[in-house]
């Protein structure tokens, strides 16, 4: 599916740096104005004790659902799980016996709730710290948002640039993805049984990628007005940290000047933009009779 028109709001200083250096700033999570953005708050939607009870009661059924699937977890669990699968295949009553034993009065709990609660907190903290190695370029589908001109373009003294990926050059901008807005920040796993099934039989690389995407491309409903798309780049191991990345000059296709820009600032920005891309289309924002924002071609 082709991308919609995407725009980057900049204050005047950011506009100068973006056009002069021909790079966009890519923020890390700690730079965001939403302090919970690009973070997880907990492992599961429910309390840990409830989640562990679900796992205990559903563990045998998960193995039965994957009775012929090779385990993908690490050793020694991998070999232990393969042995359990073999037992369940050769003795159909074995699974029922195990479930009955686990459900019997006085059966020892499989998990130490307090230990697992502490361990989950450590895991969430570690993942949130690892996310600091992610660089994100945020854009929007709205070029005429009053709030965004105020918040991100210096109260109409800045600019908005339209970005259009150069497909022929395999531009990284081709992989912008829309943000999904939810009532709450996502948990690390949507369901405790999915956590166990994926950990025992899933594709680790695919699970990790899906987990990172869920962190990066989810925001709360408070920010829904922004209509945001994101480009996320995860630093490779041992890669030197960076916060700017170049674009192809022809990918900056439209320039919108804030309605409160001084003439000298506007002239400066227009000159720099034309030096980057002589074919750039230039517009000046204006206030419409009904109070909304419009624009005229310059």
The pLDDT of residue 71 is: 93
The answer on pLDDT for 277 being more than 80 is yes
pLDDT bracket for residue 34 (50, 70, 90): confident
The answer on pLDDT for 10 being more than 90 is yes
The answer on pLDDT for 258 being more than 70 is yes
The CA distances from residue 169 to 139, 176, 224, 249, 280, in Å, are 20, 15, 32, 12, 19
Digit-coded pLDDT (tens) for 82-124: 999 999 999 989 989 888 887 776 667 666 778 778 878 888 8
The CA distances from residue 46 to 187, 188, 192, in Å, are 9, 12, 9
Peptide bond into 212 cis (omega under 30): no
The pLDDT of residue 3 is: 93
The pLDDT of residue 107 is: 67
The pLDDT of residue 43 is: 87
The CA distances from residue 220 to 64, 95, 212, 229, in Å, are 37, 42, 16, 14
Digit-coded pLDDT (tens) for 39-71: 877 888 998 889 888 888 888 999 999 999 999
The pLDDT of residue 110 is: 63
- pTM (2 d.p.): 0.84
The pLDDT of residue 272 is: 98
How high is the mean pLDDT of the chain?
91
The pLDDT of residue 152 is: 96
Digit-coded pLDDT (tens) for 162-192: 999 999 999 999 999 999 999 988 888 889 9
Digit-coded pLDDT (tens) for 136-168: 999 999 999 999 999 999 999 999 999 999 999
Which of 150, 190, 188, 194 lies closest to 285 in space, CA to CA?
150
- φ, ψ for residue 93, nearest 5 deg: -85, -10
* Phi-psi label, residue 296: left if phi above 0, alpha if psi -120 to 50, beta otherwise: beta
Between 237 and 169, the more confident residue is: 169
- Spatial separation of the C-alpha atoms in residues 48 and 116, rounded to whole Å: 8
The answer on pLDDT for 213 being more than 90 is no
CB 260 within 8 A of CB 232: no
CB 252 within 8 A of CB 277: yes
The pLDDT of residue 17 is: 97
pLDDT bracket for residue 23 (50, 70, 90): very high
The answer on pLDDT for 204 being more than 90 is no
């Amino acid at each position: 599916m082709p991308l919609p028109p995407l725009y980057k709001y900049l204050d005047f200083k950011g506009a100068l740096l973006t056009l002069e250096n021909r790079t966009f700033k890519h923020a890390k999570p700690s730079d965001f104005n939403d302090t919970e953005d690009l973070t997880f708050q907990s492992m599961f939607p429910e309390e840990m004790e409830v989640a562990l009870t679900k796992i205990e009661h559903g563990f045998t059924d998960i193995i039965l659902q994957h009775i012929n699937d090779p385990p993908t977890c690490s050793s020694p669990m991998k070999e232990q799980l393969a042995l359990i699968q073999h037992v369940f295949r050769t003795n159909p009553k074995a699974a029922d016996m195990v479930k009955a034993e686990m459900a019997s009065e006085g059966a020892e709990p499989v998990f130490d709730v307090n230990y697992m609660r502490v361990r989950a907190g450590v895991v969430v903290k570690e993942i949130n710290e690892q996310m600091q190695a992610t660089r994100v370029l945020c854009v929007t589908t709205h070029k005429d948002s009053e709030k965004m001109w105020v918040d991100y373009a210096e109260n109409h003294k800045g600019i908005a640039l339209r970005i259009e990926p150069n497909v022929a050059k395999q531009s990284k901008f081709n992989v912008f993805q829309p943000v999904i807005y939810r009532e709450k920040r996502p948990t690390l796993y949507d369901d405790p049984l999915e956590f166990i099934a994926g950990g025992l039989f899933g594709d680790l690389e695919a699970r990790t990628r899906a987990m990172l995407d869920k962190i990066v491309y989810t925001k709360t409903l408070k920010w829904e007005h922004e209509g945001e798309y994101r480009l996320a780049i995860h630093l490779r191991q041992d890669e030197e940290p960076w916060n700017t990345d170049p674009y192809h000059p022809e990918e900056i296709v439209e320039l919108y000047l804030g309605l409160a820009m001084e003439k000298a600032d506007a002239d400066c920005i227009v000159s720099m933009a034309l030096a980057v891309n002589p074919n750039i289309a230039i517009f000046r924002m204006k206030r419409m009779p009904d109070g909304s924002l419009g624009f005229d071609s310059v």
